[in-house]
Structure 1
Amino acid sequence: MAVRPVYVVRESAPYFAVTNVEFGWNGGFAKVQKQKNIRAIHAGFMRSAPGKKVLEISSKSMQEGGEALSAFFLPKYVPEIGKSVPVECVFQAGKVFQHGGPYTDLLTATPKNAKRDERLKTSGRLLNFTFDGKDYPLIPETIYYDFIYINALFENPELAKIALEYDAFTDVEFNPDKSINCQAKAAATFVSLHRMGLIDKVKDFDSFFSLYSMKSPDIKKKEKVKAACEPEKPKISICAGDTLKHKVYGLGKVEAVEGTALKVIFPEVGEKTLNLTWCINNCEILK
């Protein structure tokens, strides 16, 4: 037996509910075996939620748009190379590690090769993500993946239209015991925010970030417990003119503080727009 999640659209924070479906697992790597599992997951879900429309999002999907909505196929425009590439490549190429990255050559790799690149396993601790000259934080978990996936849907209105026809989403390849980022969850969030009239907030990262403050009490409680277990960091203020020591970019001068964003000039890499909270928690500030 196996258990896989179904992400069900909610019209309130945290924008999705999870229904775990237990079913008889069909082993093997053949596509036909994966599709047997998809049918079993959907059948189990429909027994508990009759009338709901559920879409499998993966390269194994048998439904219209299901494969195209997969991160391996859904295109996201990348300004620095002037073309669109699969979301998976954008996600992997944006990782910045303690000892390397971002590995922007992965933007032009196949999604499978980008995901399996050895440097992603040997470059130390993951520090943050970067895209189009701006850095993105690791916390809240999945926020960067959700942000680029949902914005890729904006760039592909025909695919977004297909997603909006459904009430729930699955990804047969996703195992929550091994991963945290999930295209099915991101799709459910997109549909939820669209139904709630909040979808325009996802275009800008700061406004998208603010949506995470609308989470349910249970999730907020878990985050408070997690924060309590982490060492307390001193309160630090950052002002224009300060020098910031970034673990990847080195020393840089803060040019401006604009809300929750910093504009910093680094001699090696030029101007970067960084998240204020991330910098306070991860960088040394030299007054």
Structure 2
Amino acid sequence: MQRKIGVIGGSGVYQMDGLEDAAWTEVDTPWGASSDAILTGRLNGVEMCFLPRHGRGHVHLPAAVPFRANIDALKRLGCTDVVAVSAVGSLREDFRPGDMVVLDQFIDRTSGRPGSFFGSGCVAHVSLADPVCARLSDHCEAALRAAGARVHRGGTYLAMEGPQFSTKAESRMYRAWGCDVIGMTAMPEARLAREAELCYASVAMVTDYDCWHPDHGHVDVAQILQVLAANAGTAKAMITALPALAGGGLAPCPCGCDRALDHAVMTARDKRDPALVARLDAVAGRVLG
């Protein structure tokens, strides 16, 4: 059995070029429709799936992204690894527009977004101490450096609700918290990927300095779009290099991502809600049986 790589494209990354036998595939999930159809195919002999997080044409607000359906659909298609790409503002002087950050931590300030596949009738608690897969993050870093990108390994992503950008007071507060970048979509995506036992890596494309920086004024969407165009090219180069690095035989994840549910389900088998268990067939079927 081989690894299968899913890519979630954020703002500015709406397509994936170069796939053999490429086809847009609709996937039915118990959580509704995914953000868009999923582009499937092979890249350098490795099976790939590409999902534009906001949909082609950018039709979904950050809070309206169907995160559960997206992760379920990728898992249902057989993905073992998911690389998520997103546009972010920088909260650090040395994280400049155009830089790429391979993230390793998140702070979730979103509200009202369904953050778990589990619920009453089937309760589970997974560890998020280390919310990304170090192995897959290594591959992303190597692919970015090969593409000539300026890369920062490690960073904390502040997930805000949006769709408005921060006030200056909020931006300064997040800097005081030690956050490195700010965006609107990494949560609950990373939480759900862990529950689905997927190896997950998150790559942030820096577009601006948010509004804290005294020399850069307010966040300007026109300027962001200019930087996004350049960043999207770097992200696509990274994706093209991933099959050679992250593909190959399916061995157990050294980080344990593929076994995250081993001791997570708390509800006794005879107390589990059959309807919820049925909805969990793709993401948790390994442990629910």
TM exceeds 0.5? no
Q: Which has the higher helix share?
A: 1
Q: TM-score, normalised by structure 1?
A: 0.29
Between 1 and 2, higher relative CO (CA 8 Å, sep ≥ 6) is seen in 2
